[in-house]
C-alpha cells in the first residue's frame, strides 16, 4: 500500500491511560508510521502543557482538555460529548487531508462526528468495536432513562457507513444480532508480543491482578478469596496493581481481613514491574464481569502464567481460556468460586505452566499485533482508489 494519511481517533492514549484499546491504538499508530504512513492521533489531553505526548513519529493532537472520565465508577457523559465536538471541529477543518479515519466505536459521539463528515472529507471510515452492550446492561449501568439513551446512541452508530473490526466472537455475534450489516472482520492481536521465557513460579506463590479498579472489574472480590485460601492453610501472597474508585475498598478489605503482610496494592506501577510480577506469578486473576477482549490474559500466557477468569455473559475474556490448559474458569466472583479456581491452578503446578506456554505458542500468530496489522492495512488498501491516495 502506498503511503497514506491516517487519522486515529480515541479519547485516551497509552501510557497516559492504560488499557487494551489504548495499547492497540498506540501500537497501530507506531507500526503505521514505521511503514511510511503519516499518522495523526486525536485524543483528550492527558499530558502536561508544554510537553510532548511521547509517541515517536505520530502527531498527537489534543482536541479537548484534561477531563475526569469516571465519576463513582461510571463513565461521565460530559467528556464523550466534549471529545465528539473536538473531533467534529478538527475534521471540519482538516478532514479532507485524510485518506482514512480510524476510530473506536466508543465514546460514540466521536464516531458520529466522523460519520457525519465522511462524505465531505472523502475518507474511508474504519471503526473498531471493542464491545457492544446489551439493552439490559445499559439499563443496569445508567438506569432506565439514561440506559435507553445510551443504547439508542449505540444503535445509531451501527448505522453509520463504516468498515468494521471487532476483537471477540461475543462482539461479532452481538453486532450482527443488533443489526449491523456492513463489512465486519474479527481480529485478535492487540500488541506486539514479546518473546516469552518460561520461568518457575515464585515460592510462596503469588496471585496477580493488573488493571483498573472499577465496579465491572470486581477487584475487591480477590481479597476475600485469598483470605479463604490462607485460612485453609495455603501459603499464598497477592499483588493487586492498578487504581480506580474501588481501590479504597480493596485497601479496606486487606486491612479488615488481616492481610497487610501478604497482599500488596501499590496502585499504578511501571509496565516493566507488572511484567516481572506476571512472569513469576502462580496465576493472573481477572474477576471482571465485562471484558471486550482481555489483553492481560494474553500477556500472562506469553510468559507461561495461567489465568483465572470469571464466566459471564458480557465477558469476552473467557474466549481466551481453555479450562485446564492455560488457566481455569470460575463460575462467579464469589470468594468460594475464585478460591476454588486458584486452588485448581495450584494443583496444576509446573505442568499447567508448560501447558499455558504451549497454548500461547499455538496461538501466537493470531494473537500478535502483526496479524491484525496486516488485516487492517489490507482493508485500507482494498477500499482506497486503485491509483492510491490523491490528497
Eight-state DSSP code of residue 211: S
- Each residue's pLDDT expressed in tens, for the chain with a length of 391 residues: 789 999 999 999 998 988 889 999 999 999 999 999 999 999 999 999 888 999 999 999 999 999 988 887 778 889 999 999 999 999 999 999 999 999 999 999 999 999 999 999 999 999 999 999 999 999 999 999 999 999 999 999 999 999 999 999 999 999 999 999 999 999 999 888 777 667 888 999 999 999 999 999 999 999 999 999 999 999 999 999 999 999 999 999 999 999 999 999 999 999 899 999 999 999 999 999 999 999 999 999 999 999 999 999 999 999 999 999 999 999 999 999 999 999 999 999 999 999 999 999 999 999 999 999 999 999 999 866 644 555 5
Residue 364: partners with Cβ closer than 8 Å, 6 or more residues away:
193
- Which cell is 82 given? 466534549
The model's pTM is 0.92
pLDDT of residue 385: 61
Residue 96: partners with Cβ closer than 8 Å, 6 or more residues away:
120, 121, 122, 391
pLDDT of residue 387: 47
**Nearest CA to 152 among 164, 117, 167, 144?**
144
Please say whether the beta carbons of 56 and 81 come within 8 A: no
Q: What is the rounded CA–CA span in Å between residue 251 and residue 247?
A: 6
pLDDT of residue 19: 87
Go through the domains of the chain in sequence order and give each one's CATH number: 5-192+368-383 (3.40.50.2000), 206-365 (3.40.50.2000)
Amino acid at each position: 500500500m502506498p503511503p497514506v494519511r491516517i487519522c486515529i481517533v480515541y479519547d485516551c492514549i497509552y501510557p497516559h491511560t492504560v488499557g487494551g484499546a489504548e495499547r492497540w491504538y498506540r501500537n497501530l499508530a507506531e507500526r503505521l508510521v514505521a511503514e511510511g504512513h503519516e499518522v495523526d492521533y486525536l485524543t483528550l489531553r492527558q499530558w502536561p502543557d508544554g510537553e510532548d505526548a511521547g509517541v515517536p513519529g505520530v502527531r498527537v493532537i489534543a482536541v479537548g482538555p484534561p477531563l475526569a472520565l469516571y465519576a463513582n465508577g461510571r463513565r461521565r457523559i460530559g467528556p464523550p460529548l466534549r471529545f465528539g465536538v473536538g473531533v467534529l471541529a478538527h475534521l471540519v477543518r482538516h478532514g479532507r487531508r485524510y485518506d482514512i479515519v480510524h476510530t473506536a466505536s466508543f465514546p460514540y459521539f466521536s464516531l458520529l462526528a466522523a460519520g457525519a463528515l465522511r462524505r465531505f472529507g472523502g475518507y474511508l471510515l474504519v471503526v473498531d468495536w471493542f464491545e457492544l452492550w446489551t439493552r439490559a446492561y445499559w439499563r443496569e449501568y445508567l438506569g432506565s432513562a439514561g440506559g435507553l439513551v445510551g443504547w439508542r446512541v449505540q444503535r445509531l452508530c451501527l448505522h453509520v457507513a463504516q468498515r468494521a473490526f471487532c476483537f471477540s466472537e461475543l462482539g461479532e455475534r452481538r453486532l450482527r444480532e443488533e443489526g449491523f450489516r456492513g463489512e465486519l472482520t474479527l481480529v485478535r492481536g492487540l500488541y506486539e508480543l514479546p518473546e516469552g521465557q518460561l520461568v518457575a513460579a515464585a515460592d510462596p506463590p503469588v496471585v496477580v491482578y493488573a488493571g483498573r479498579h472499577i465496579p465491572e472489574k470486581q477487584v475487591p472480590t480477590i481479597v476475600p478469596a485469598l483470605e479463604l485460601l490462607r485460612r485453609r492453610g495455603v501459603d499464598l501472597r497477592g499483588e493487586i496493581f492498578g487504581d480506580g474508585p474501588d481501590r479504597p475498598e480493596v485497601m479496606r478489605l486487606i486491612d479488615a481481613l488481616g492481610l497487610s503482610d501478604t497482599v500488596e496494592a501499590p496502585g499504578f506501577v511501571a509496565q516493566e514491574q507488572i511484567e516481572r510480577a506476571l512472569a513469576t506469578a502462580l496465576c493472573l486473576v481477572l474477576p471482571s464481569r465485562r471484558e471486550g477482549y482481555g489483553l492481560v490474559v494474553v500477556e500472562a500466557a506469553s510468559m507461561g502464567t495461567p489465568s483465572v477468569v470469571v464466566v459471564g455473559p458480557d465477558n469476552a475474556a473467557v474466549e481466551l481460556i481453555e479450562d485446564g490448559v492455560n488457566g481455569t474458569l470460575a463460575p462467579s466472583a464469589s470468594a468460594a468460586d475464585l478460591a476454588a479456581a486458584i486452588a485448581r491452578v495450584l494443583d496444576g503446578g509446573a505442568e499447567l505452566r508448560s501447558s499455558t506456554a504451549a497454548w500461547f505458542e499455538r496461538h501466537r500468530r493470531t494473537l500478535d499485533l502483526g496479524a491484525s496489522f496486516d488485516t487492517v492495512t489490507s482493508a485500507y488498501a482494498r477500499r482506497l482508489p486503485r491509483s492510491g491516495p490523491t490528497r
